[in-house]
Structure 1
Amino acid sequence: MAPETDFRPIILAGGSGTRFWPRSRRARAKQVLALDGERTMIQRTVDRLAPLAGPERVWVITNDLLSGTICGQLDCVPEKQIVCEPAARNTAPAAGLAAFLLERIAPNSVLGIFPSDHVIANESAFLSTIRQAVELAAAGENMVVLGIAPTRAETGYGYIETGDAFGENALRVRRFTEKPNQERAEEFIAAGNYFWNSGMFIWSARTLANAVREHLPETAPLLEKIAASWETPDFRRVFTELYPKCENISVDYAVLEPRSSKGEHHSNLFCLPANFGWNDLGSWAALYEHHLDQGNADSSKNVTESNGGLAYHAGGNYVFSPKKFVALVGVEDIVVVETEDALLITTRHHSQDVGKVVKELAAKHREDLI
C-alpha cells in the first residue's frame, strides 16, 4: 500500500446476530461480545486494521440499540464517525452512505468495507492482502473483493466465480453466486475457480459512489442528500426522514452482481484470493470449529466454557455455562448455552436454525428475551 493512500475502514456493525442467541440480543449483538478471547469482535476488527489506519480514520455504521455499547468499546474512534442508522437497510445503503460521505470529506480516499464480527487467524497475511487490495483499488475505478479459498462444499456462503489472472495476484470476477445447494457447492469445489465471498470489499469512495448512482438510481439521491447534511443541525432529521426510503438490498446484489454482468474484461471487478485463516463465526457450530482449530478442546473434542466440568463417553460438544460446573454424559455433537434468563440446547447440525427461535420469540412478543 503506497504511503500516500488515504485508506478508510468502514465497519458494518448493524446486525443482530440472532444465530448466537441467547448470548446475543438486540442490544448485545454478536459484534459486541467477546466470543474469542477478552476483546470483543468489533474491538478485534479495529485492532487488526490499526497498522493500516488509525482509529481516527475508522467509520462504523450501526444502530441506536448498539451505538452506546460500541462507543464505549471503541472510545478511540471519534464518536461522530459511529453513525447510527434510523432503520435497517442492509449493506448497500450503509456502504453507499459511507461512500457519499467520504466522497465529500476525503474525495481521494479508498474505502474498505469490513463486517464487524469475523475472526482472522493470520493477521500479518490479512494486512498484506489488504495492502494489495488497496493498491489495486487506488489504481483506477476498480472494485476488489477478498475471496477465501474454500476448504469444503459449504452451503452457507456466497461464491465468486473467477476467470483470467490480472497482475500478480488478482483474478477477474465472472459472476457471484448466492448460497448454493450441496450439489452445486460440490461442483464449485471441483471446478477449482470458485472462492467464498468474504464480505470484505475495497474500492475508492468515488468508485463506490458512482456505482451506487448507476445501479441504485432511486436510492443514490437520498444518500447524497443525507451526506450533504453531514455536520449540520439538520443531519439527524434528514437522515431519519430519508434513510428508511432507501432500497433494502445488499451491496452484492445492488452493485457487484450487476457489474459482473458486464463481462469479466469490462467490469473492473477483481477477486484477490486470500488465505489468512478466515471464519465468519456464523453459528455456534462455527464457533465450536474455531475453538477446535485453536486447540481449545479436550481429547474427545469437547469445548467447554464453564466453571469446571467433566465428560464421560461424550464427544464433539460445545458448552457455554460460565457460572456452573457442567457434566457431559453419553452425549455427542450438542450445543448448550446458558445465560441468566435462557437456556439453549441444540445439536451442532441444527445450530444454523437458532435464529428461528428469535423469530418465534418475536411473534410471541417475548421482548424480554430478544
Structure 2
Amino acid sequence: MKIIPVILSGGAGTRLWPVSRKAYPKPFMQLADGKTLAELTFNRALDLATEGEVVTVTSRDYFFLCKDIYRKNPQCDIEKQTFLLEPAGRNTAPAIALAAMKVQQTHGDDAIMVIMPSDHLIKDIEVFKHTVQQASALAADGYLTTFGIYPTAPETGYGYIKAGEKLNEQAAVIDQFVEKPDLETAKSYVASGDYSWNSGMFAFRVGTLLDAMEATASDVVKQSKVCFESTNTNGNQIEFALDHFMQLPDISIDYAVMERAEKRAVVDSRFDWNDIGSWNAMAGLLESDEAGNRIEGKAITVDSENCYIRAGDRLVAAVGVNDLMVVDTTDAVLIAHKDKSQGVKDVVQFLKAKDHEAAVFHKTVHRPWGSYTILEDEDDCKVKRLVVKPGQVLSLQLHHKRSEHWTVVSGTAKVRIGDEEFMLEENKSVYIPVETLHRLENPTDTDIALIEVQCGSYFGEDDIERFEDIYGRIDDKQANS
C-alpha cells in the first residue's frame, strides 16, 4: 500500500492575529518551543510517506516558506517533494482534486492520499501513525475515510460526524455530517457517544476519490482537469494558470464529496489533536502558574489571575487584571477578555475594511529571497533592514517615485545600478536614483544584511516595475524585491 501524504498549507491569518496574518498565517508562527505547525506537520507526513514524497498544496507566497521549513528535516530530500501552487484561494475540494490528479499521474489509481492540514498540532505520533494505517486500509478497500476526533468537551466551534454501523473496533460507516451546534446540542452529541469532531483530515484511494467526485461534484472535476492541463512546471514546483483556476468552484471537500458520497467511513481517532483555533487554545498549550496565568516571553504579573500573555521583544507587565489575553508584537497589541477570543476575527475584518496593512503584513515581511524589516516609516523616508539568503537574487527593477540608499552591514553583495555591476562590501554604501534600473544579489554562501533608506514622494510597495525576476513575479506589485 503506497501512502502519499498531501499537506494543505495556507490560512487567512484571522483567528490568531496579530501574530498570524495573511502574509504569514498560523502554520508558520512559532510555538513556545520554537517550532512551527508547518514544520511539525511535514515531519509527521514524511514519516508516513512510503517513498519519501509529500505533496504540498500551497500558494506561491508560501512556497518558499514551506521549502525552507522542510529542509530542516534531515530525512527530507527536497527534490522528491512536490509543490502545487495555487494563484488564489479556492477551498479544499479543488485543492484535493488537483492533488489527486497529480498523485494519479505519478503513482496511479491505487495510491492512498492522506490529507493533512498544516495547522494541526498532534503530539501522540505513534497513536497517530496507527490511526493512519487503519484509515488507509479502509481507503484501500474503497471507503472515503475521515478522521473523527474523540470529543473531550462539547465544543461549538467544530462540525461533528455521527457514526453508524461498526466496520471494526476503530471505525464505522458515516451516518451523518452535522454543522457546528449550539452548546446544548453539543452536550447531547458528546453524551451520546455516537459523535466525533470533524478533523478535516482524510484518507482516500486516488481512483475512488476521483470517481466519487465525478458523481457528486462533476463541475469540480471538469474544471480541475482544465486547470491541471494548464500547469507551468518548474522542477517540483507546479503552478496553475490564474484564469483557469478562478473558474474552479469555491467549495469544501465536505460539501462537495463527503456529505454526498455513499461509501464513507470514520475512524475513531484518539491521538491528541488540536487545531489551535483561538488564543485560548494557544494558551492551553502552556502550564499555568499558581494564579492561573500562562506566559510566553518576557512578562510580569502582579495581583493578576487567569491571564494569557504572549510578549514579543518588549517587557509586558499586567497589574490587577483577570481573565485577559495580551498578545504583543512589534506593531500591534491585542487585549481581549478570554471569553471573547473568537472576536479577534472581527478586528481583522475591521482592518481589512480600512485597508490597513496590519491585516496582512508584519513589520518583518518574508520574501522568496529572504526578508525585510521596517525600521522607520515616516512621510519623508522609509528605512528597512534587508536580509538576503545565499544564492538569492532580487528582481531587476526600478522605482518611479523614490530613490534608495543601500548600506551593507554584513557580508558582500553583488549590485547592479543601470548598466554597471560591482561588488559592495561590508560598511560600503551606494545610491540608486529614481527611474534607475537596479538589482541586488547574494553570490556568497552566507546571509547578507543591508540597510535601505528610501527617499521621495511615495514609499508604497506598488511603486515597482520589474524587468527580470527568477521567482516569476514580473506582473506582481505586492513585494519589495
The TM-score normalised by the length of structure 2 is 0.70
Aligned residues: 352
Q: Which of structures 1 and 2 has the larger relative contact order (alpha carbons within 8 angstroms, sep 6+)?
A: 1
Measured in 1, the distance between the counterparts of 2:353 and 2:223 equals: 32
1:146-161 → structure 2 map (5 Å cutoff): 146-161=147-162
Q: Does 1:314 align with 2:304?
A: yes
**Structure 2: unaligned runs, 5 residues or longer:** 361-481
Q: Does the CA contact (< 8 Å) of 2:4 and 2:54 recur in 1?
A: yes
Name the CA distance, whole Å, in 2 between partners of 1:298 and 1:345: 20
Per-residue deviation at 1:51?
A: 2.5
Stretch deviating more after TM superposition (323-332 or 115-124): 323-332
Tell me the alpha carbon deviations over residues 53-112 of structure 1, each in whole angstroms, 9 at most, x when there is no partner.
Answer: 168410111112222212221234448722221121111110111111211211121001
Question: Which residue of 130, 137, 140 maps to 1:138?
Answer: 140
The letter of the residue matching 2:207 is: R
Paired position in structure 1 for 2:413 = none
> Quick check: 1:49–1:127 contact (8 Å CA) kept in 2?
no
Q: Structure 2 CA distance, aligned partners of 1:368 and 1:51? A: 37
1:186 deviates by 1.5
Decide which structure has greater strand share.
Answer: 2
Asked whether the equivalents of residues 351 and 358 of structure 2 are also in contact (C-alpha less than 8 Å), the reply is no
Which of 240, 254, 257 aligns to 1:255? It is: 257
Alignment CA distance shift 1:79-1:225 (3 Å): farther
CA contact (8 A) 1:26 1:65 kept: no
Q: What does 1:199-218 align with in structure 2 at a 5 Å threshold?
A: 199-218=200-219
Q: AA paired with 1:320?
A: R
Counterpart of 2:9 in structure 1: which amino acid? A
The 1:237–1:117 alpha-carbon spacing in structure 2 relative to 1, beyond 3 Å, is closer
Displacement after TM superposition at 1:246 (Å): 0.8
Alpha-carbon deviations, 1:145-201, whole Å to 9, x = none? Answer: 111111111100000001111023211110101111112112211222000011110
**3-state SS of 1:218 partner:** helix
On the 8 A contact 1:103/1:209 being kept in 2, the answer is no
Q: Higher helix proportion, which one? A: 1
8 Å contact kept, 1:155–1:180: yes
In the alignment, which residue of structure 1 is the partner of 2:338?
348
| SS state at 2:292 partner | coil
Shift of 1:230: 4.8
Corresponding position of 2:275: 280
Aligned to 1:67: 63
1:369 to 1:257, Cα distance in 2 relative to 1, 3 A: closer
Question: Which residue of 1 is the match for residue 293 of structure 2?
Answer: 302
Task: Note closer, same or farther for the CA distance 1:169–1:54 as it changes in structure 2 (3 Å cut).
Answer: closer
**1:12-31 equivalence runs, <5 A:** 12-31=8-27
Gaps of 5+ in 1: 260-266
SS in 2 for 1:130: helix
Q: Once structures 1 and 2 are overlaid, which stretch shifts more, 172-181 or 323-332? A: 323-332
C-alpha displacement of 1:346:
0.6
Identical-residue share of aligned pairs (%) = 35
Asked which structure has the greater CA Rg, the reply is 2
> 1:237 Cα shift?
7.8
Amino acid at match of 1:323: D
- TM-score, normalised relative to structure 1: 0.90
3-state SS, counterpart of residue 104 of structure 1: helix
- Report the secondary structure of 1:242's partner residue: helix
Hey, what's the Cα distance between the residues in 2 that align with 1:51 and 1:282?
Answer: 25
Contact 1:173–1:271 (CA<8 Å) still a contact in 2? yes
CA distance in 2, matches of 1:94, 1:56: 21
Q: Is the 8 A contact 1:99 1:205 kept in 2?
A: yes
CA shift, 1:236, in A, is: 7.0
Which of 123, 130, 139 is the matching residue for 1:128? 130
Q: Which residue of 2 aligns with 1:192?
A: 193
Shift of 1:368: 4.3
Q: Is the 8 A contact 2:313 2:330 kept in 1?
A: no
State the distance in 1 between where 2:60 and 2:233 align.
Answer: 20
Displacement of 1:36: 4.3
Aligned to 1:262: none
Tell me, what secondary structure is at the counterpart of 1:94? helix
Name the amino acid aligned to 2:189.
Answer: F
Q: What root-mean-square deviation, in Å, do the aligned CA atoms of Structure 1 and Structure 2 show? A: 2.0
Q: Confirm or deny: 8 A CA contact 1:169 1:272 kept in the other structure.
A: yes
Q: Does 1:268 align with 2:263?
A: yes
Check conservation: 2:189, 2:195, Cα contact below 8 A: yes
Q: Which amino acid aligns with 1:118?
A: H
2:93–2:220 Cα contact (<8 Å) kept:
no
Higher mean C-alpha deviation, range 21-30 or range 51-60: 51-60
- Matched residue SS, 2:259: helix
Q: Which amino acid aligns with 2:53?
A: R
User: Are the structure 2 counterparts of residues 335 and 237 from structure 1 closer, same or farther at C-alpha, using a change threshold of 3 Å?
Assistant: closer
Cα distance in 1, alignment partners of residues 240 and 114 from structure 2: 26
Cα distance in structure 2, aligned partners of 1:54 and 1:319:
42
